[in-house]
Amino acid sequence: MAAAPVRNDELVLLETFHDPTQAHMARGLLDTNGIPSVMIDVAMAGSGLGGVVGGVKLKVRAADLASAKALLADPMAFEDMDWSDQDW
C-alpha cells in the first residue's frame, strides 16, 4: 500500500534540536520571515529529559518546508534578524 501524499497544510519535521535555546532561535527566525512553526517536546527538553524524547522537534507546514530549510541553512539569516522584535 502506497503512503498517502503529504498535504500542503500538514505539519512536517523541519529540524530536531538538542538545545531548546537553539530551537527557540530558529523558531524566531522563521516567524520573523513569515513562516509559522510549532515546537514539540520543548518542555521535556527544557527539564533535562530531551534525550528521552529525542530533542525539540521544530515543525512547519509542508508547503513551507523548502523555504524554511533554506532560511535555516543561510549563515547570514541570524545576523540580519532584529532580535528585539521577538515575543519571548
What is the per-residue pLDDT across 16-46, written as a single tens digit (0 to 9) for each? 998 888 899 999 999 989 999 999 987 666 5
Cell numbers representing residue 62 in the block: 509542508
Cα separation values, 27 from 7, 22, 75, Å: 22, 9, 15
What is the per-residue pLDDT across 45-88, written as a single tens digit (0 to 9) for each? 655 555 556 789 999 999 999 999 999 999 888 776 665 655 55
Helix (H) or strand (E) holding 57: strand 56-61
Question: 21: closest CA among 71, 55, 54?
Answer: 55
Please state, in angstroms and rounded to a whole number, the distance separating the CA atoms of residues 69 and 51: 24
